[in-house]
Chain A
């Protein structure tokens, strides 16, 4: 069981370049999330989705876009990369978050992005 798989694991971008971070999960989870984690900080929510075709902004959505065309995949698109987007990006999924569900998010191993 692969769980949550993120690619690439490492990437260096030049300022102004664009790229897509891929995330796929094989647990048939409806809820998927993208967080970023800067050194010495907690995780900040970028975007999330509660099902195919539904996406919502988190705390720090500027400079990013997402889509959710299937239950399995939740790619994160960076347009016009900036040094401020240098971070570790984590994708996570769960069946249903909250009191009626669970608080357990399953995280990928992270994608380390550097923008120079």
Chain B
């Protein structure tokens, strides 16, 4: 199907390496942040979230870091696998009961 990420910044990593995907947000009032993964031709899927009173949260093979001072969010994927190839979006919720999504990063995993 048609790619939704033709002009996205791309991160290319070797299988087994760690990946770090970065995101800058603009709304100082945002207090809840989420990472989503979107595979080609599918809707986004929830990966992990973090609240503003935290600076780190870990899941299975993923870690999210939050730096509110510089309004920066990152997603770390350990031991990247071919199935991790997708477009990754950060999203923020600033009290309006809806998510604002970033522009996305394409992750390509080389075998």
Contact = CB atoms under 8 A, between A and B. Distances in A.
Interface stretch (A12-20, A67-75, A77-85, A99-107): A99-107
Main secondary structure of the interface of A (DSSP, over half): strand
Contacts of A35: 101
B42 A39 contact: no
Contacts, number: 83
Interface string A25-60: 000000101010111111111001010000010110
Contacts of B4: 37-41, 88
Interface stretch (B5-13, B14-22, B66-74, B75-83): B5-13
Contacts of B97: 31, 48, 50, 97-98
Interface of A: 4, 31, 33, 35, 37-45, 48, 50, 56, 58-59, 88, 90, 92, 97-99, 102-105, 107-110, 112
Interface of B: 1-8, 31-34, 41-46, 49, 51, 89, 91, 93, 95, 97-104
